[in-house]
Amino acid sequence: MKLSELIEQTLSEIANGIENAKTSSNHLIAISPHSIDGKPVSEMSYIEFDVSIAVTEKSDSSSSSERGGGGEIKVLSIAGLNGKSSSRDDEANSISSQLTHRISFKVPVCMSGKVLN
């Protein structure tokens, strides 16, 4: 996976997560607000994330011309570190590599603000 693809997919996943959280939590807290009820937000808290992700790339070993067929980003968990979910047939017909990266980011929230529609 190219660095540009890693950055694109990572930022896209973070943005989608924030957007989904905004939709499902707008009656509880304001996530990444510019204003609440038309008033600028002056006091914000931040929720910080420090996660390890694994970038896995697989290619079919039966056709060497199609190596590097894309990658997949997953957040690592204890189960993800200890176990594999692929079958022996999959392992016999594919070559895979996995790189681990650490990503830190923070999301601004206003705990006392509710977004009203």
State pLDDT tens for residues 8-20: 988 999 999 999 9
DSSP 8-state code for residue 116 = -
Task: Kindly tell me if the per-residue pLDDT of 21 is higher than 60.
Answer: yes
Residue 61 lies in a domain: yes
Alpha helices (H) along 33-87? 78-82
**Tokens coding 82:** 């200890």
Residue 116 lies in a domain: no
Task: Judge contact between 100 and 52, C-beta under 8 A.
Answer: yes
Range of the domain at 15: 3-110
pLDDT tens per residue across span 59-108: 665 544 444 456 777 777 544 443 444 444 555 556 667 778 888 999 99
Q: Taking the model in full, what pTM does it have?
A: 0.63
Spatial distance between the Cα atoms of 67 and 39, rounded to a whole number of angstroms: 53
Residue 117 lies in a domain: no
Q: How many domains does the chain have?
A: 1
pLDDT tens per residue across span 49-70: 998 888 877 766 554 444 445 6
